[in-house]
Structure 1
Amino acid sequence: MNFYDFSFCGITLRAMPSGALFWPDENLLCVSDLHLGKSERVARRSGQTLPPYETRDTLARLGDDLAQTGARIVICLGDSFDDVTAAENLTEEDRHWLMRLQAGRHWIWIEGNHDPGPVEFGGQHVHQLVHKDLTFRHIADPGQHAEISGHYHPKVQLQTRGRMISRPAFLVDDRRLVMPAYGTYTGGLRTNHQALDQLMGPHALAILTGPVPTCVPMPR
């Protein structure tokens, strides 16, 4: 399969085409911003109807990544559910699907701003996690070193072969890694946005997701 291996704070990590991050030496898969149940939350709050299949699509891609990597540790890096009610309203089919993915794995839910409270699913629930030399949290701490976070849904817009493309991307510098959103119904923040421009160092890189993950200097 296609992937992009890179070094972050002396650790070899693997950017997957889907937007998942794999740590081979730890057999650990990290995903961020699944936003499961977003179509239900949008319909409940605004009355707008979206095709209600994004949860199944997200879980299917996650299942594929777990099968391909054989990961035994899974970290969900916050905003795993679009809100607490969306988690409560998952269909029985989707609940069972999630339980099958969790079976036999150490599953860690990190709290996000959309799902700050405990949810009624198995696994470990924490505000943040330090594993080996890396800190995992939902929103980046500008003063933290060796940190992996999510929240911003970074996207890169580039012109290639005469047309503009936009792809979710990992952002990496010498201090932090910001994950792309993994969920099917998730928008994104362009890398030239002030929040990301100020957060990332001057030599930051962007690893674009897609069939062939590609590394470029972070567009600003």
Structure 2
Amino acid sequence: MSPVLAKALESRPCGGLATRVGGAAVVLRASGALWVEEARALVVADLHLEKGSAYAVRGQLLPPYDTRETLRRLEAEVAVTAPRLLVFLGDTFHDRRSEGRLAPDDADRLRALAAGRTLVWVVGNHDADGPQALPGEVAAEFDLHGLKLRHEPRPGAQPGELAGHLHPCAKVAAAGGVVRRRCFVTDGERAVLPAFGAYAGGLNIRDPAFSGMFVRTPIAAALGAGRVHPVGWKSLRAD
């Protein structure tokens, strides 16, 4: 693990890891959400709401509970952190018709999240139009205390970038076998968030899609049961 990054990591009682990205103090939470302390902002990526119903439309039947479970976890994070700002980093909906397939009570739960705070819907490749009937502001990108929040990471050095899109996962060889977990990946300059959605898949951070993104060797912050585990690059395995 990079000595610079290791020194910057601090375990929190919540199970998360406190660190800095682009100079901003953040907490990488065990849920996969990222907390920006100075702004009291909670950031989540790639919820892919109504992915189950999108598959059902095409004849592939999955248990239709992904939206309900994803919102349950998000509500729990909001209850604990009490953010002033809730930012969705794109692909909040699995496709452009997903909002229309929301059950009425799930739509109400999303509206309730706006009570006492601002919602920002950064658009992604799956939901480029943003929500049509939900509160909040829609943006292609969002600036927050020196951080640049966008859906898809840009190539090359991007100091202060928080992005999603790639659904990062870490694969680690352990004593009991191989473990694969969703993860944050950061070099202290930028960070890619794990997918928050119940049905969202993951891409190994050893994949070439991550090549060239980091100015120094990054770490994975793997999501465990109520705790985030820092993993050095040399401990990671390709698929």
Match status 1:108 vs 2:123: no
**Code of the aligned partner of 2:138:** H
Report the identity percentage: 34
- Once residues 26 and 52 of structure 2 are traced to their aligned partners in structure 1, the CA distance between those partners, rounded to angstroms, is 32
- Once residues 76 and 36 of structure 2 are traced to their aligned partners in structure 1, the CA distance between those partners, rounded to angstroms, is 16
Is the Cα–Cα contact under 8 Å of residues 24 and 147 in structure 2 kept in the other structure?
no
**Code of the aligned partner of 1:156:** A
Residue in structure 2 matched with residue 8 of structure 1 by the alignment: 21
**Code of the aligned partner of 2:48:** H
Name stretches of at least 5 consecutive residues in structure 2 with no aligned partner.
1-13
Residue in structure 2 matched with residue 213 of structure 1 by the alignment: 228
Count of aligned positions: 219
Residue in structure 2 matched with residue 49 of structure 1 by the alignment: 61
Q: Secondary structure at the match of 2:97?
A: helix
Residue in structure 1 matched with residue 8 of structure 2 by the alignment: none
Is the Cα–Cα contact under 8 Å of residues 174 and 201 in structure 1 kept in the other structure?
no
Residue in structure 1 matched with residue 3 of structure 2 by the alignment: none
Q: Secondary structure at the match of 1:198?
A: coil
The normalised TM-score by structure 1 is: 0.95
**Code of the aligned partner of 2:94:** D
Is the Cα–Cα contact under 8 Å of residues 50 and 93 in structure 2 kept in the other structure?
yes
Residue in structure 2 matched with residue 159 of structure 1 by the alignment: 173
- Once residues 202 and 24 of structure 1 are traced to their aligned partners in structure 2, the CA distance between those partners, rounded to angstroms, is 24
Residue in structure 1 matched with residue 130 of structure 2 by the alignment: 118
- Once residues 183 and 130 of structure 2 are traced to their aligned partners in structure 1, the CA distance between those partners, rounded to angstroms, is 28
- Once residues 131 and 181 of structure 2 are traced to their aligned partners in structure 1, the CA distance between those partners, rounded to angstroms, is 30
The normalised TM-score by structure 2 is: 0.88
Residue correspondence of structure 1 range 28-177 to structure 2 within 5 A: 28-44=41-57, 46-120=58-132, 121-143=134-156, 144-177=158-191
Q: Secondary structure at the match of 1:80?
A: coil
How far the C-alpha of 1:159 sits from its partner, in A, is: 1.4
**Code of the aligned partner of 2:229:** T
Is the Cα–Cα contact under 8 Å of residues 15 and 227 in structure 2 kept in the other structure?
yes
Is the Cα–Cα contact under 8 Å of residues 120 and 138 in structure 2 kept in the other structure?
yes
- Once residues 3 and 108 of structure 1 are traced to their aligned partners in structure 2, the CA distance between those partners, rounded to angstroms, is 23
RMSD: 1.3
Q: Secondary structure at the match of 1:58?
A: helix
Q: Secondary structure at the match of 2:165?
A: coil
Name stretches of at least 5 consecutive residues in structure 1 with no aligned partner.
none
Is the Cα–Cα contact under 8 Å of residues 206 and 217 in structure 1 kept in the other structure?
yes
How far the C-alpha of 1:114 sits from its partner, in A, is: 0.2
**Residues 48-101 of structure 1: per-residue CA shift (max 9 Å, x gap):** 111011101100100111111111101100000001111111010100111111
Is the Cα–Cα contact under 8 Å of residues 20 and 188 in structure 2 kept in the other structure?
no
